[in-house]
Amino acid sequence: MKLARIVKGMIIPALLWAICFTLEETGFAQCSMCRASLAGSNNPFFIRNFNIAVLVLLTPPVAIFCSIFVVLRRHSTPKDDATDADPLKS
């Protein structure tokens, strides 16, 4: 229950942040050099492909980062619950 609340508390602000930056036109360029190259181009096809390329290049690091946490979560040792432990059973 507590974990679900923490996850929900992190996902909602992240989604709002992502929506705000994707709707803002200056949020498409990732750095000052990228922004300069996009500002100099009047080709909307190039700008669209550039933004898709940024998302494609972002996918592997995010997948690796998330998979590390999934593996750590699955292999973590569960805490012993004192109410379930029976001292007579070995």
Q: What would the pLDDT profile of 48-81 be if each residue is shown by its tens digit?
A: 888 888 888 888 998 999 899 888 888 887 665 5
**Which pLDDT belongs to residue 19?**
75
Over residues 7-23, the mean pLDDT reads 73
| CA–CA separation, 49 and 34 (whole Å) | 13
**Does an H or E element contain 14, and which?**
helix 2-23
Confidence bin at 29 (pLDDT 50/70/90): low
Alpha carbon distance 23, 25 (integer Å): 6
User: Model's pTM, two decimal places?
Assistant: 0.45
The pLDDT of 27-33, averaged and rounded, is: 65
